[in-house]
Structure 1
Amino acid sequence: MRTVAVIGGGASGMMAAVTAASEGARVIILEHKDRIGKKILSTGNGRCNFTNTHQEPLCYHSEDPLFPWGIIEKFDAQKAISFFLQLGIYSKNRNGYLYPNSDQASAVLDAFRMELERLHVEIRTGVDIREILPGKKGFTIRSDHENIRADRVILCTGSRAAPATGSDGSGYDLAKRLGHRLIPVLPALVQLRCEGSFFKAVAGVRANGSVSVWFEGECIATDTGEIQLTDYGISGIPVFQVSRYAAKLLYEKKEVTAVLDFMPDFTEEQTRAFLSARAKTRPEKSADMFLIGLFHKKLSDLWIKLSRIPREQNAGTLTEDEISRLVQLIKHFEVPVKATNSYEQAQVCCGGIDTAEVDPETLESRYVPGLYFAGEILDVDGMCGGYNLQWAWASGHVAGEAATVGE
């Protein structure tokens, strides 16, 4: 019976183990934390958004944009839904976002644990891997406690995001020693730290809008949704979606600007006409009350201050130039981005093992036969909305299946 060692007991590792064991292999999970699946418990705010029915290549990012989609097509969202249904996870659909019907991430982890037990997968926790040594007949895996023999190895150690859950980047060193190179690993799906002394005054404000990342006059990425203003910068799902692009530019020492649009459904002209009509409707309103009911008061106060309009000025006396200044602030609120938050706050990372060095059909190393990769350790990251877990399921399944075939 072939022995498959899965290094890393996260989402992709558990999927790889279940798949390989289902194909008849003897499987050992080697996890350096005290238990498996810790990161799953924090996904989807503790509810585990485990996939999304809306799937297209643009939902996944990599230096080779075609690479992730080839794997996703082998194990798509419908296959993931069916897989979890077999494990007892009945799903609920919230506008394409799939969750366990119980709304508990722990249910997904428990279902995996039961399946791993049913398939007699051996789980060893608290094991730190020092080195993977390929031989003529399989591998020797050197750990802090012992040497472990395996015919095939699947490396599923995650990225550097949320290191407290186990993904501390240790797998990158193992891969580099075996000849693999890294695309620079940077925080993604993360908050952006911005310049501006006013942020403390608007901290805690949530507002619908769009956020875009700009470099040298070019819009690099944009997304729309609820923006959260913090005492250090900007957060919220649309910020997470564009953060990978800001991270890459900052890594290259480029100057990055985030532009916030707080009326994304209106053009500039429509916004100007709307504010002009609003001023005429209640001309006696003071400027500091002019935008109340339209925007959060903290934002209204900030914009009146930045537009240099006296707070006591009547709305009916606002000039075209003053309204234009307000429109500019509302539609094009520019803030320089100086950094992302750290790996501790990031949901995932961009970058990782260069996919050019991995077989796109099997996820086997092109350098080390019998070595496979799955999950976040590869240079693949998905959007918010269940895509990173879908990548974990798909890549884990493909690697787990491939590790059981052939000689």
Structure 2
Amino acid sequence: MKIAIIGAGAAGIIAAITAKRLNKNLHIDLFDANKGIGKKILASGNGRCNISNNQITSKNYLGENPDFTSFALKEFDFKAFEKFCKSIGLLLDIKPSGKVYPLSNEAKSVTNLLELALQELGVNIYLESMITDIEKVEDKFNITTKDNEYKAYDKVLISNGLGAAPQLNANESGLDFASKFGHSFNPTYPSLVGLKTDNTYNGKLQGVKKECNVSLYVNGNLEQEIFGDVLFTSYGVSGFAILDISQLAVLNLSQYQDVKIAINFFPKINRNDLGDQIQTLFKTIPSQKAVDIITGMVSNKIAPVLLDICKINIDTKAADINAKQIKALAYQLNQWKLKITDTQGFGHAEASGGGVRTAEVDNKTYESKLVKNLYFAGEVLDIVGNRGGFNLQFAWASGYLVGKSLGK
């Protein structure tokens, strides 16, 4: 039996290894547009490779139907993943947060071991091979690249992801191929990405970083709250809390909803107590400028912007700040609202949302319900995970199930 796998990422690699282990007589050709396999694996975790997470449920995913992931995550749970890693010689470092890294703390060791496993099993790897077309003639598939044509495949797996990280040759050709075979897909959007805001003072706050509580509002309704790092940038906001909240924010933004976030700089202090603390500071040093005193609480970049938003003159002395203005300052620090207008785009996104509709794919075999012997796995499907190894774990799990199907 002859099989083509489009995309040598996590899903495509584990599908090839699993299938070959089950049936050594399979002929498997693995195609990738890059010069090496697993480019997104290499990029994960800032090069340290956040390869998985040991605390995963379907609630860690977004999509039209996140429960679609349940069977795969159960069949290929963390214990199964750990066993697979040991089978290729890869030992893991499991952090208290649930994040999982290679014990070597180096992503390259992961791709090296995966490549050795592929080579040992006799999987044919075609690098720098961008697929331009897939067609089915009777019951066989033909694959076309820029320079060659590969014919008569019995089965094809599309696992070449979506548009996140175009600098790694990421693209949405998988959706084009899916559409050609009658599949529909939900609009794609960048996920785990910095957010652009419509404020004129963005540049003035560039570089300010603080642990804050971030609340997401969609059409005025509170949808999510996350605590973590917030980094102000020239375009808006980033940082771990923003990346996390961006998933739901951008999903709603892509559906033309009104999306805002509110940043609480002092989540452990309620608004009234914060106001009392500001008032006490002002009374202690009444002859000093209010803007200078506030820098004892927040960054010196935030202080003048804060006063401007609260319509307080930059030269106002602490003694001249009235109770109403103190209340306004406390409110702003407790609820710094920002309207989200856009994202940094796919070039800065860690993952892509949207993709091939899961209703058209079997959740146990990942075979197309529309075209026999056509399979999908990983990011090309309308499933996107939280930050922290969840996207890679779905890629491993979905690819594993495809591999079992291909190996039969």
Give the TM bin, normalised by the shorter chain: over 0.9
- Measured against aligned partners, the alpha-carbon deviations of 1:60-107 in whole angstroms (never above 9, x if no partner) come to 111112112222111122322232233222222332211112221111
Match of 1:246 among 246, 249, 259: 249
| 2:350 corresponding residue in structure 1 | 347
Partner of 1:376: 379
Equivalent of residue 128 in structure 1, options 121, 127, 130: 130
- State the SS of the aligned residue for 1:114: helix
- Partners of 2:405 and 2:283 lie apart in 1 by 69
Percent identical: 30
CA distance in 1, matches of 2:222, 2:110: 39
User: Which secondary structure state, in structure 2, belongs to the residue aligned with residue 240 of structure 1?
Assistant: helix
Q: Is the 8 A contact 1:186 1:351 kept in 2?
A: yes
Counterpart amino acid of residue 18 in structure 1: I
User: What is the correspondence of 1:256-267 to structure 2 with a 5 Å cutoff?
Assistant: 256-267=259-270
Q: Which residue of 2 aligns with 1:73?
A: 74
| Match of residue 42 from structure 2 | 41
Deviation at 1:316, TM superposition (A): 5.6
Q: Is the 8 A contact 2:134 2:142 kept in 1?
A: yes
Are 2:389 and 1:402 equivalent residues in the alignment? no
CA contact (8 A) 2:32 2:129 kept: yes
The equivalences for 1:218-367 within 5 A come to 218-280=221-283, 283=286, 285-315=288-318, 318-367=321-370
SS in 2 for 1:5: strand
Match among 98, 104, 107 for residue 100 of structure 2: 98
* Alpha-carbon distance between aligned partners in 2 of 1:358 and 1:242, rounded to the nearest angstrom: 28
User: Is the 8 Å Cα contact of residues 30 and 126 (structure 2) preserved in structure 1?
Assistant: yes
Equivalent of 2:194 in 183, 191, 195: 191
CA gap 1:311/1:132 in 2 versus in 1, 3 angstroms: closer
Aligned to 1:107: 109
Map 1:157-236 onto structure 2 (within 5 A).
157-236=160-239
Mean CA deviation greater in 79-88 or 229-238? 79-88
Residues 324-383 of structure 1: CA distance to partner in whole angstroms, max 9, x if unpaired? Answer: 111121111112211111111111111000000000111110001111111100000001
Query: What displacement does 1:27 show?
Result: 1.7
Unaligned runs of 5+ in 2: none
Matched to 2:54, the amino acid is T
User: For the residues of structure 1 that align with 2:94 and 2:265, how far apart are their CA atoms?
Assistant: 29
Cα deviation, residue 211, structure 1 = 2.3
Question: Residues of 2 paired with 1:383 and 1:23: CA distance?
Answer: 32
CA–CA separation in structure 2 for the residues paired with 1:183 and 1:161: 15
After superposing the two structures, state which structure 1 stretch, 207-216 or 135-144, moved more: 135-144
Paired residue total: 404
Q: Which residue of 1 aligns with 2:150?
A: 147
TM-score by length of 2: 0.93
| One-letter identity of the residue aligned with 1:13 | G
Q: Is the contact between residue 364 and residue 399 of structure 1 (CA under 8 Å) also seen in structure 2?
A: yes
Quote the residue 1:6 is aligned against.
Answer: 5
Structure 1 spans left out of the alignment, 5+ residues: none
Q: How much does 1:143 deviate? A: 3.2
Tell me by how many angstroms 1:37 deviates: 1.4
Q: Is the 2:219–2:257 contact (alpha carbons within 8 Å) kept by the matching residues of 1?
A: no
The one-letter amino acid paired with 2:73 is I
Provide the C-alpha distance between the structure 1 equivalents of 2:219 and 2:7, rounded to a whole number of angstroms. Answer: 41
- Letter of the aligned partner of 1:6 in structure 2? I
- Given that residues 142 and 149 in structure 2 are in contact (C-alpha distance below 8 angstroms), is that contact kept between their aligned partners in structure 1? no
In 2, distance between residues paired with 1:166 and 1:50? 20
Q: Distance in 1 between matches of 2:265 and 2:130?
A: 48
Q: 1:76 to 1:316 in 2, by over 3 A?
A: farther
User: 2:282–2:290: 8 Å Cα contact kept in structure 1?
Assistant: no
The match for 2:19 is: 20
Q: CA deviation at 1:149?
A: 2.4
Q: In the aligned structure 2, how far is the partner of 1:65 from the partner of 1:147?
A: 35
How far does residue 239 in structure 1 lie from its aligned partner after superposition? 1.2
Deviation digits for residues 218-258 of structure 1 (CA, Å, limit 9, x no counterpart):
12333221001001101112211222333233333333222
SS at match of 1:294: coil
Aligned-residue offset at 1:194: 0.7
Query: 23-32 or 282-291, which moves further after superposition?
Result: 282-291
Q: Please, what is the CA RMSD of the aligned residues?
A: 1.9
Deviation at 1:313, TM superposition (A): 4.3
- Report the Cα distance in structure 1 between the residues aligned to 2:317 and 2:3, rounded to whole angstroms: 75
Residues 269-324 of structure 1 show CA distances to partners (whole Å, capped at 9, x for unaligned) of 33334434444555555312323343222112321232233445454654321221
The AA in structure 2 aligned to 1:120 is: G
Partners in 2 of 1:364 and 1:207 — Cα distance?
46
